[in-house]
Amino acid sequence: MPTICKPSVDVPEHVITMEETLKFAEETHHGKPQLPLALRLIRNTGVQKRHIVQPIEQTLRHPGLEQRNKTFETEAKKRCPKVIEEALAHADLTARDIDAIIFVSCTGFMMPSMTAWLINTMGFRTDTRQIPIAQLGCAAGGAAINRAHDFCTAYPSGNVLIVSCELCSLCYQPDDDNIGSLLSDGLFGDAVAATVVRGQGGTGMSLERNASYLIPHTEDWISYAVRPTGFHFQLDRRVPGTMQPLAPVLRDLAAGHGWDIANLDFYIIHAGGPRILADLSTYLGVDLHMFRHSSATLTQYGNIASAVVLDALRRLFEENTLTPHATGIIAGFGPGITAEMAIGRWHTTPTPTPTPRRHALPATL
């Protein structure tokens, strides 16, 4: 059964604290009537610090979309190889053992995809499948896990590498002063993460069932407006209330597997903000402490988009308290409004020594 192994996560060296964020917001948007509300919302996020790829003074300037996208490409190529090598080591595999690469990001654009550069640079086979996901935002971390699960179900001996590269600071728009934009300026951080889903063997969460759900007619609640200056984040004030309709979907997923959503052993949830975790705690009847890994990611790194679930899962691994067959769920939420969910058990079967692959997987099912 497919198993998601320990992720590797790396954050940039430049740090901005909540106090600095509030200071810069006051200086940049002084006198704006919406500023007091925005400052209060930023304080309520609980984000103590975030990591960004450029010094804050450089981040606050807009050099144009072309230069920003060049920076994304440069930073992605600089930062991805390290986390990939670590993720492969966690899975006891090499680049030659990988059959598909899923690359997710909503903060920069490359064509060919980053997957082509990775194959050419890091020793992956030339027949490795390339699966870039660019438009699912924060939900893409969960979607990547689910598509890897699907791939390994179709190809039981296959292995899938997931790479998330979210450089949210490169989407900062200094002239945007609506509440949603100001809140996002104090919420999102940068991170690169990677993990491997093994079709056989491995230690981690054995993936047993996955599902997707779209809340009807909410596609404009979280969105990008694409303008000459790049991506402009748009956030509807109704977004914080979306856990009420999504909680029953999570409950039904678990129930369809014979489980009670309120009595799982671990929960890896995308924390777009503290209210998401608080509402899920209420609607699912789950103690808020069970979301501690997601909460820690939010507090220490901010909302790192698709990388949130991978970082929270890393923290679960490092806590090292789970016993074999412990039950759990991974859930990512994002534009659409979309939910991507997976459930499974903790799996600790020793990993067999990988056999060098002489042939690619079948071209078709």
- Active-site positions read 138
With contact defined as beta carbons under 8 Å apart, do 146 and 342 qualify?
yes
Residue with tokens 């789970």: 322
* DSSP structure string for 201-249: --SEEEEEEEEEEE-TT-TTSEEEEEETTEEEEEE-TTGGGTHHHHHHH
Place of tokens 């590797």: 8
Mention every residue, 6+ apart, whose C-beta is less than 8 A from residue 132.
102, 103, 104, 113, 114, 115
Rounded Cα–Cα distance for residues 168 and 179 (Å): 17
Query: What is the DSSP code string of 264-316?
Result: -SEEEE--SSHHHHHHHHHHHT--GGGGHHHHHHHHHH-B-GGGHHHHHHHHH
Residues 6+ apart with CB under 8 A from 201: 3, 92, 349, 350, 351, 352
Q: What is the H or E stretch that residue 197 is in?
A: strand 190-198
Distance CA 333, CA 271 (A): 8
Q: How many CA atoms lie within 13 A of 65 on its CB side?
A: 11
- Nearest 10 degrees: Cα torsion 267, 339, 241, 277: 10
- The bridge status of strand 338-347 relative to strand 327-334 is antiparallel
Q: Which alpha helices (DSSP H) does the chain contain, by range?
A: 18-28, 35-44, 56-59, 65-90, 114-122, 140-154, 179-185, 243-256, 274-284, 292-301, 308-319
Output the six-digit token pair for 181. 């934009």
Residue type, 145: I
At 347 the three-state DSSP class reads strand
